[in-house]
Structure formats: C-alpha cells, structure tokens
Amino acid sequence: MKNYLSIQDINNLDQWVKEAMILKRDPLAYQELGKNRTIGLLFFNSSLRTRLSTHKAAINLGMDVMVMNIGKDGWILDFEDGSIMDQHSAEHVKEAAQVVAQYCDLIAVRAFASLENKANDEAELVLNGFKKYAGVPIVNMESSIHHPLQALADAITIQEHKKTDRPRVVLSWAPHPRPLPHAVANSFVEMMKKMDAEFVITHPEGYELNPDITAGCQLEYDQQKALAGADFVYVKNWSSYMDYGKVLHKDLDWMMTGNKMGQAQFMHCLPVRRNVVVEDAVLDGPQSLVHQQANNRTYAAQLVLKKILETIK
Ligand code: AN0
Ligand code: CP
C-alpha cells in the first residue's frame, strides 16, 4: 500500500481487522520491519491520541520517529498553485513536502477542515499537497474530510465487543459549544457501510452530513426511535454541512445519557466534553468503550504502517 488517505485504501476490511487483532496480541513481532526507517508526524492541529498512538505504533515496528507541530512551530505554508506569496505564508508546500521527504521515508499529516471555505476544505489542500509533492507514502492523521485511523480503530473495537453477527449501530449527533469538523463522522459512516451492521444515523434537522458519503444510510431524526435496540451508540458532534461550519443547535436535549443508552455499548473517538456531549454516568460506567477504542488506535496505526513498510522495503 502506498498511502493511507481514507478507508477506501483498505482492500479487505475483514482481513485487516483480523491482522490488527493479531498485532495486538504480539505488538513487537515486526521490530525488524521498520529498522532504519523514519516516520515524520506533522501536526497542523492539536492531538493527544493520534500523536501518541501513531508514535507508539512506529516504535513497536522499530522505526525512528520525528514529530513536528508544524501548525505552531513551522513556517506558514502556502498551498495554492501559482501563488504570489507576498502575504502571510513564508514557504510553499512544494518545498516543504520535498524537504521533509529528504529526512523521512513516510510522512503522516494532521490538518483539520477550516470550516470556513467548503471548496478549499473539500480539495484537501494540505493532505493532497503533501501527497503530490513529497514523493513518499502519506498517512492521514485526520484531514478535512476523513479520519481513517480512527475509523479503523472503531472497526476493531466493534469486532471485539459485538455480541451478535449483525449489531445495530447508531451514530448519534451531540451538542458542542464550538463548530467541529465532519471527518470523524464521515469516516465512521464509510466504515459502517463496509461492515455487517444495521446502521442508523440520528441528528437534528440541518445537521445532514455530505449526502455523497451518507448515500444509502438510514437516517432517523427522532433520537429515541433511532436508539431503540441499539448494540453500539457512537456519539459525535459535527457542525452543519449545509450551512457550512455553523453551530445550529446547542440544546443539551441531544446529549447522551444513561437513560437513553439502554443496554448499548458507548463509543466516542475522544476528546469529549463531559456533561455536554455525554453525561458522566455513561463515560464512567461499564458500558463505555472509549478507552478500548483509544487503545486500538495503536494497532490500527501499526497495521497501516506495517502495510506501507512492506511495500517500501
Ligand atoms: C476534533 C474533531 O471533531 O474532528 C478531533 C477529534 C478526533 N475534535 C475537536 O476538535 C474537539
Ligand atoms: N481521537 C483522536 O483523534 O484524538 P486526538 O485528536 O487527541 O488525536
């Protein structure tokens, strides 16, 4: 595999989930594979899990790791073709990507949606800029549209914890004071389309995700109806897609509570705002899988890096 940009780069999901679970049992089995290989982790945005789990995955494979908070410490980059760079940006991605590629065999990039300009966000200027100019494999650590390492960890978590062959999985929107990107929800939706699940999306009107991504998915505006009989409840906030980047609804009536959960297992990618997105009792209770999900981030990343390393050897 050359790049891991979205879950469409997964050629056989069942096989990948099985392989990740095998890696999890013996994480140091491929220490030789990454020897003398360097990964660069470039962050244009904050991170806790993605940063540490991808770093740990690389260490488990014997790789060297360089991390840069490029959004904070790097030169401001320009991504437009033919730019006249007489404003804020000091360096073009054409140089930056090729320079990083002199030092790294593989580059992973985190660059969230701006939520200001839909066309620019959908063009994935940052991720595609690195892909176009670096000439080394690129891994997506959450871009404008996709968070495929998270979705792979979620698939592993569901596989490990499901009690029926075809679980009912509900993606339930939650309130949040700030406008958040669509990437986590998008990749989760794409993943559920590939998994054997009865999948339902629920959110207030106005929060419809990109229809190209949700095509064929069941949508239920009544949260209570959607949650009935759920085996897994995946909670996430996102801002409006139609009224791009706007917060339309802040009422806590969509917050996940123990009462709403029934017997379902609770999932969230984290970070999560307590008692806004979900009440304490759910996060602190036995139905929560959030730590298991975060743990599986390591093995999702490790599988992706392993597959890339196998092709560059
Ligand atoms: C980010 C988001 O919603 O995309 C990252 C989640 C992994 N969350 C926040 O910015 C709070
Ligand atoms: N779930 C996730 O990607 O978390 P971070 O933003 O902390 O990396």
pLDDT tens-digit readout, 98-117: 999 999 999 999 999 999 99
Give the residue whose CA is nearest to atom 4 of ligand 2: 49
The mean predicted confidence, pLDDT, of the chain is 98
Model pLDDT, residue 188: 99
Average pLDDT (16-43) is: 98
- Relative to the CA of 48, which ligand 2 atom is closest? 7
Q: Is 270 in the pocket of ligand 2 (CB under 6 A)?
A: yes
Residues 173-224 have pLDDT tens digits of 999 999 999 999 999 999 999 999 999 999 999 999 999 999 999 999 999 9
- Listed in sequence order, the DSSP H helices in the chain are 13-25, 49-60, 70-73, 93-103, 118-122, 125-134, 148-161, 183-194, 211-214, 223-227, 258-261, 280-283, 290-312
Measured from the Cα of 110, ligand 2's closest atom is: 8
**Cis-peptide, bond into residue 271, ω within 30° of zero:** yes
* CA 47/CA 57 separation, integer angstroms: 16
> Can you give the pLDDT at residue 250?
86
Helix pair 183-194, 148-161: axis angle to 10 deg: 50
pLDDT confidence of residue 33? 98
Q: Please, are residues 156 and 148 in contact by the beta-carbon 8 Å criterion?
A: no
Give the residue whose CA is nearest to atom 9 of ligand 1: 180
How many Å apart are CA 253 and CA 178, to the nearest integer?
17
Q: What percent of the chain is modeled with pLDDT above 70?
A: 100
Q: What distances in angstroms separate CA 125 from CA 131, 146, 170, 208, 210, one per listed residue? A: 10, 13, 31, 24, 18
The mean pLDDT of 142-165, rounded to a whole number, is 98
Confidence grade of residue 87 (pLDDT, cut at 50, 70, 90): very high
Grade residue 251 by pLDDT with cuts at 50, 70 and 90.
confident
| Ligand 1 mean position, distance from CA 140 (Å) | 14
User: What does the alpha-carbon distance between residue 290 and residue 299 come to, in Å, rounded to a whole number?
Assistant: 15
The residue contributing the CA closest to ligand 1 atom 4 is 181
Query: Measured between alpha carbons, how far is 20 from 274 in angstroms, rounded to an integer?
Result: 30
Q: Give, as one character, the DSSP assignment of residue 253.
A: G
Q: How far is the CA of 159 from the centre of ligand 1 (A)?
A: 24
Q: Give how far Cα 311 sits from Cα of 5, 39, 97, 136, 243, Å.
A: 16, 15, 21, 11, 42
**Count of other CB atoms within 10 angstroms of residue 63:** 21
With beta carbons less than 8 A apart as the criterion, state whether 13 and 194 touch: yes
Indicate the pLDDT class of residue 124, thresholds 50, 70 and 90. Answer: very high
Residue 149 CA: nearest ligand 2 atom is: 3
Parallel/antiparallel/unpaired status of strands 232-236 and 218-219: unpaired
pLDDT beyond 70 at 313:
no
pLDDT for res 8: 97
Whole-prediction pTM: 0.98
User: Which ligand is nearest to the Cα of residue 149, counting in written order?
Assistant: 2
52 pocket-lining for ligand 2 (C-beta < 6 Å): no
Evaluate: CB of 150 within 6 angstroms of ligand 2: yes
- Residue 44: pLDDT over 90: yes
What average pLDDT score do residues 121-134 get? Answer: 98
CA of 87 to the centre of ligand 2 (A): 31
Tell me whether strands 198-202 and 265-267 are parallel, antiparallel or unpaired: unpaired
The pLDDT assigned to 152 comes to 99
Residue 48 CB less than 6 A away from ligand 2: yes
Q: How far is the CA of 184 from the centre of ligand 1 (A)?
A: 8
Q: Which atom of ligand 2 is nearest to the CA of 46?
A: 6
Q: What is the pLDDT of residues 47-77, one digit of tens each?
A: 999 999 999 999 999 999 999 999 999 999 9
276-304 burial, b at 16+ Cβ within 10 Å, e below that, comes to: ebbbeebbeeebbbbeebbbbbbbbbbbb
Could you report how far apart the first and last alpha carbons of the chain are, in Å?
Answer: 12
The residue type found at 121 is: D
Residues 6+ apart with CB under 8 A from 104: 38, 39, 40, 66, 136
**Protein residue closest via CA to atom 6 of ligand 2:** 47
Answer whether 90's CB lies under 8 Å from 76's CB.
yes
Ligand 1, atom 10, residue with closest C-alpha: 180
Pocket of ligand 1 (CB under 6 A): 180-181, 183-184, 269, 271
Strands 106-110 vs 38-43: parallel, antiparallel or unpaired: parallel
Instruction: Starting from the CA of residue 179, give the closest ligand.
Output: 1
